[in-house]
């Protein structure tokens, strides 16, 4: 998918991409440059991240039970 840069250096994010990423007017986007590629990543608020790592320690334990001292 190709985008056109306007004379003011603006681009329009296609509707299907906006919907897939839940981007609305006023949303913040983080631009990450790596290896000559610009990645546009929607910025997540703390409220949206709440619970994101809930129970991760149960799914991916960092150490065995025998390594834990009580």
The per-residue pLDDT for 9 is 95
Is 37 within the bounds of a domain?
Answer: yes
The per-residue pLDDT for 4 is 94
Please count the other Cβ atoms lying within 10 Å of the Cβ belonging to residue 49.
9
The per-residue pLDDT for 15 is 94
The per-residue pLDDT for 21 is 87
Is 49 within the bounds of a domain?
Answer: yes
The per-residue pLDDT for 61 is 59
Is 40 within the bounds of a domain?
Answer: yes
Predicted TM-score (pTM) of the model is 0.55
Q: How many domains does the chain have?
A: 1
Is 10 within the bounds of a domain?
Answer: no
pLDDT above 70: residue 27: yes
Is 42 within the bounds of a domain?
Answer: yes
Whole-angstrom distance, CA of residue 3 vs CA of residue 48: 29
* Tally of CA atoms within 13 A in the half-sphere of 55 that contains its CB: 1
Domain that residue 19 falls in:
15-65
Is 3 within the bounds of a domain?
Answer: no
Give the mean pLDDT of the chain.
80
């Amino acid at each position: 998918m190709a985008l056109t840069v306007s004379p003011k250096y603006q681009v329009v994010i296609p509707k299907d991409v906006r919907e897939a990423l839940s981007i609305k007017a006023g949303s913040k986007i983080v631009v990450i440059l790596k290896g000559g590629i610009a990645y546009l990543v929607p910025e997540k608020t703390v409220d949206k991240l709440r619970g994101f790592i809930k129970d991760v320690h149960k799914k991916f334990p960092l150490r065995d039970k025998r390594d834990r001292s009580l």
